[in-house]
Amino acid sequence: MTEANQYFVARTTAQEGPFSLPELILRVDAGRYQGSELCWSKADGLWLPLQERSEVTAALSAFDREREAKTGERPKAEAQADVSIPRVETSAEVSSEPALEAPLGSGAQDEVPEALRKLSPEQIQVALRASVAWRRFIARTIDMNCAAFVFMIGVAIFAPQLIKESSLPMLVFYSSLTWPWIEGVMLARLGWTPGKRLLGLRVVRIDGAPLDVALGIQRGLSVWVFGQGMELMFLNLIAMLWGFKSYAQTGSNIWDRQCATRVEVLALSRARVALATGLIFFIAILAIFVVMAQLPRAT
């Protein structure tokens, strides 16, 4: 494959490629890629929507004509003259992966920012992974706070003395320790938790099979130790920063490597983004009130 012939296509978690032009055309024809998805070529070093790459649309038309000459099948370009890359509007999907969303300028009507056009495949790889790392972090934040809320209600009802005898950090620690067990059962039975469901994430084995309860709990405990620092002061912050950086650079975390699991990233609607944003703001405001309530009052 020559340098000028190499193409990459940006997806949610990573870019795919390199492809030669014929390899890329076969994938577009099969419905693998949408015309609005960003494609990088070593010929110009730019990220452009597939439908704006003249060599791609020209090669696709030639591919249609050749197929018509051999089979007599009407070219799809004539059947769907309204789109630049006809296959992008079909629902065909040759991959077993879920439909993914390209968040960086993916809309067909959106202009691709000039700065994004000049990014190398390695740079956009990191950007795509970082966007997924943020989704995973926000999903876990929502899950942990929901678990803490339920835990505090349970303690208030069944063990009110524990609230009087324990400090806030200790209650947070107790709450976080109960979550991996609950999460393990939910991942095994449902494949998601409330936060993951909201943010379009699903945990499965490497081969795509669902987790069993034991593996779900094992993964939850690994996340609690390596991703949350066991909710211990300062160690928690270090663990979260390390986990975020590790995923952005390598596309995986130590808990997924240990348990041979992966996180599928599904399309995310604007309504879910808005709801997740509102929940995060609510959690932040609630945390401020809780901390202020713990401060000693001036007499």
Give the tens place of pLDDT for each residue, 117-139.
566 666 667 777 788 888 888 88
**How confident is the model at residue 115, as a pLDDT?**
54
**How confident is the model at residue 8, as a pLDDT?**
84
Q: Indicate the average pLDDT of the chain.
A: 75
Which 3-state string (H, E, C) describes the chain? CCHHHCEEEECCCCEEEEECHHHHHHHHHCCCCCCCCEEEECCCCCEEEHHHCHHHHHHHHHHHHHHHHHHCCCCHHHHCCCCCCHHHHCCCCCCCCCCCCCCCCCCCCCCCCHHHHCCCHHHHHHHHHHHHHHHHHHHHHHHHHHHHHHHHHHHHHHCHHHHHHCCHHHHHHHHHHHHHHHHHHHHHHCCCCHHHHHCCEEEEECCCCCCCHHHHHHHHHHHHHHHCHHHCCCHHHHHHHHHHHHHHHHCCCHHHHHHCEEEEECCCCHHHHHHHHHHHHHHHHHHHHHHHHHCCCCC
**How confident is the model at residue 290, as a pLDDT?**
63
**How confident is the model at residue 213, as a pLDDT?**
92
**How confident is the model at residue 297, as a pLDDT?**
57
**How confident is the model at residue 105, as a pLDDT?**
35
Instruction: Please give the average pLDDT of every successive group of 10 residues along the chain, which has 299 residues.
Output: 66 73 85 80 79 86 80 52 38 32 35 56 72 86 85 84 80 85 89 88 86 92 90 85 84 87 81 82 74 58
